[in-house]
């Protein structure tokens, strides 16, 4: 610079900068190559739920290495990167930071409920009842979950102010009704009517949250099962299994939940008790039954009735689960067991539940058929071989 060779100085600075980038990118290259060669100890220890030898997992980790590189070089201030590398602090989840994703969020539910929020481009104003506040809260949780990984926390105390809002709203309604009737009840009678209706309102709100939580839990479980199927970690813990007991347990678990939704769940069998067992994984089989019952309510619940039947024929158990809803369009029937296929259904879900069920049944040596029932609705039939029949086939 003292020699006034500005052009040379500029070229030298650019050269030094480019060389620094090359050195840093080589570090990333080495990390990626070590992933492919399965000798990257850092990622081996990072997540016990991931198998670093599987191609799909390696691709995820490779994308993570690129994100780490971009985060260190471009996205984070130099002092933060240096503090991280020196162990003074730990900057968590660099492998996702380039996508601006979040992990383990604490959701400010109070602010969004009291001041309104925006969900998928739509302005959501402050709710005017407890049940509406619960509904909005579940939508917020679902939206946050779809844009992050890991958990999230909310405070149910932020819903409490809407109990009083509902109480005041209900009281106004009761007073109008009483005025129209031309009667003059005392304050105690009015308060009794208000509190009874308020309890019903609170019950509806809680049911909304429970139902949505169940839906999200089922979706997460389906996605986990799907990932295990994809990377080869899906296994069965086979033992002598009382199929009738597992089916009846699933039915009884869902009967009360369906009753609250106005759906009658019926169960019948050709015999009061079957003595024959099957070779199977009881937890996986119960998962199949629960998923099929949930699907029947989700897609055929408008029929207000689900019928489950157990029988035995030609060396196998036959389980039918029928709903009395609108059924499935004939053109969609061949595809309903395909992964992520949702067809024309408006019901929310991952689209992989039936694919996972079909895989579990096949691994038990059985089959799963889906058809439209005579008289309306959909019937799912599961065939599972008895233990002695399965042994003969082996």
- From the CB of residue 310, how many other CB atoms can be counted at a distance below 10 Å? 20
End-to-end Cα, the chain, rounded Å: 84
What is the structure's pLDDT at 44? Answer: 59
Q: How far apart are alpha carbons 81 and 90 in whole angstroms?
A: 9
What is the structure's pLDDT at 164? Answer: 95
Q: Please check the confidence at residue 146 and state whether its pLDDT lies above 50.
A: yes
What is the structure's pLDDT at 114? Answer: 95
The two counts, helices (H) then strands (E), for the chain are: 13, 11
164 against 257, higher pLDDT = 164
* Average of per-residue pLDDT across 376-386: 94
Say if residue 296 is exposed, middle or buried (CB neighbours under 10 Å; 0-12, 13-18, 19+). Answer: buried
Q: Please check the confidence at residue 243 and state whether its pLDDT lies above 90.
A: yes
Q: How far apart are alpha carbons 16 and 142 in whole angstroms?
A: 48
Q: What are the residues facing 379 on neighbouring strands? A: 322, 371
| Residue 183 confidence class, pLDDT cut points 50, 70, 90 | confident
Q: Please check the confidence at residue 287 and state whether its pLDDT lies above 80.
A: yes
What is the structure's pLDDT at 59? Answer: 76
What is the structure's pLDDT at 394? Answer: 45
Strand, helix or coil at 263?
coil
What is the structure's pLDDT at 252? Answer: 87
Q: pLDDT tens digits, residue range 157-181?
A: 999 999 999 999 999 999 999 888 8
237 against 352, higher pLDDT = 237
Q: How far apart are alpha carbons 178 and 187 in whole angstroms?
A: 12
Q: Please check the confidence at residue 34 and state whether its pLDDT lies above 70.
A: no
- The helix-helix angle for 55-70 and 187-231 (nearest 10°) equals 110
What is the structure's pLDDT at 322? Answer: 95
What is the structure's pLDDT at 144? Answer: 84
Q: How far apart are alpha carbons 367 and 362 in whole angstroms?
A: 6
* Average of per-residue pLDDT across 331-355: 73
* Average of per-residue pLDDT across 49-54: 64
Q: Please check the confidence at residue 381 and state whether its pLDDT lies above 90.
A: yes
Per-position DSSP letters for 109-145, written without gaps between them: HHHHHHH-EEETTEEEPPPSSHHHHHHHHHHHHHHHH
Of the candidates 345, 244, 225, 363, the residue with the CA atom closest to the CA atom of residue 296? 345
What is the structure's pLDDT at 212? Answer: 77
* Average of per-residue pLDDT across 307-319: 93
Q: What are the residues facing 310 on neighbouring strands? A: 269, 319
* Average of per-residue pLDDT across 381-391: 79
Compute the 3-state secondary structure of the chain and give helix, strand, coil in percent, each to the nearest 5: 60, 15, 25
- From the CB of residue 171, how many other CB atoms can be counted at a distance below 10 Å? 17
| Residue 43 confidence class, pLDDT cut points 50, 70, 90 | low
- φ and ψ at residue 89, rounded to 5 degrees: -130, 170
Q: How far apart are alpha carbons 272 and 311 in whole angstroms?
A: 10
What is the structure's pLDDT at 112? Answer: 94
What is the structure's pLDDT at 39? Answer: 67
Of the candidates 218, 217, 371, 228, the residue with the CA atom closest to the CA atom of residue 288? 218
Q: pLDDT tens digits, residue range 214-234?
A: 777 766 776 676 666 666 667
Element at 361 (helix H, strand E): helix 353-363
246-259 b/e (C-beta count within 10 Å ≥ 16 → b): bbbebbeebbebbe
- From the CB of residue 213, how many other CB atoms can be counted at a distance below 10 Å? 12
Q: Please check the confidence at residue 149 and state whether its pLDDT lies above 80.
A: no
What is the structure's pLDDT at 229? Answer: 67
Q: How far apart are alpha carbons 101 and 145 in whole angstroms?
A: 11
Percent of the chain topping pLDDT 90: 32
Q: How far apart are alpha carbons 151 and 80 in whole angstroms?
A: 25
Global confidence as pTM: 0.54
Alpha-helical (H) ranges within 130-185 are 130-145, 161-181
Name the CA dihedral angle for 298, 301, 302, 308, rounded to a multiple of 10 degrees: 140
């Amino acid at each position: 610079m003292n020699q006034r060779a500005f052009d040379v100085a500029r070229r030298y600075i650019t050269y030094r900068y480019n060389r620094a980038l090359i050195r840093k990118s080589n570090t990333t290259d080495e990390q990626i190559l070590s992933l492919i060669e399965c000798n990257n100890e850092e990622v081996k220890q990072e997540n016990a739920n991931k198998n670093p030898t599987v191609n799909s997992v390696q691709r995820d980790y490779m994308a993570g290495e690129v994100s780490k590189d971009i985060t260190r070089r471009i996205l984070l201030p130099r002092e933060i990167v240096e503090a991280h590398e020196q162990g003074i602090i730990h900057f968590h989840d660099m492998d996702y930071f380039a996508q601006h994703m979040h992990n383990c969020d604490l959701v400010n539910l109070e602010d969004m409920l009291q001041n309104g929020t925006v969900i998928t481009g739509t302005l959501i104003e402050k709710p005017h009842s407890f049940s509406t506040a619960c509904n909005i809260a579940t939508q917020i949780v679902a939206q946050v979950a779809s844009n992050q990984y890991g958990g999230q926390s909310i405070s149910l105390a932020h819903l409490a102010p809407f109990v009083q809002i509902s109480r005041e709203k209900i009281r106004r309604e009761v007073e109008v009704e009483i005025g129209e009737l031309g009667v003059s009840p005392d304050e105690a009678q009015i308060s009794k009517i208000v509190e009874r209706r308020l309890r019903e309102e609170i019950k509806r709100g809680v049911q909304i949250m429970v139902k949505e939580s169940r839906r999200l839990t089922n979706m997460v479980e389906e996605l986990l099962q799907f990932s295990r199927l994809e990377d080869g970690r899906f296994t069965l813990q086979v033992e002598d299994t009382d199929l009738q007991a597992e089916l009846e347990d699933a039915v009884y678990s869902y009967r009360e939940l369906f009753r609250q939704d106005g759906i009658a769940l019926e169960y019948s069998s050709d015999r009061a008790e079957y003595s024959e067992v099957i070779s199977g994984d009881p937890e996986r089989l119960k998962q199949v039954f629960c998923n099929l019952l949930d699907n029947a309510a989700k897609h055929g619940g408008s029929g207000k009735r689900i019928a489950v039947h157990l029988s035995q024929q030609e060396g196998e158990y036959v389980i039918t689960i029928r709903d009395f809803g609108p059924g499935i369009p004939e053109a969609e029937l061949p595809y309903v067991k395909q992964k992520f296929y949702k067809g024309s259904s408006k019901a929310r879900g991952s689209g992989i539940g039936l694919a996972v069920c079909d895989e579990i049944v096949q691994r038990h040596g059985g089959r799963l058929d889906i058809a439209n029932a005579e008289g309306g609705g959909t019937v799912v039939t599961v065939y599972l071989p008895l233990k002695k029949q399965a042994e003969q086939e082996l």
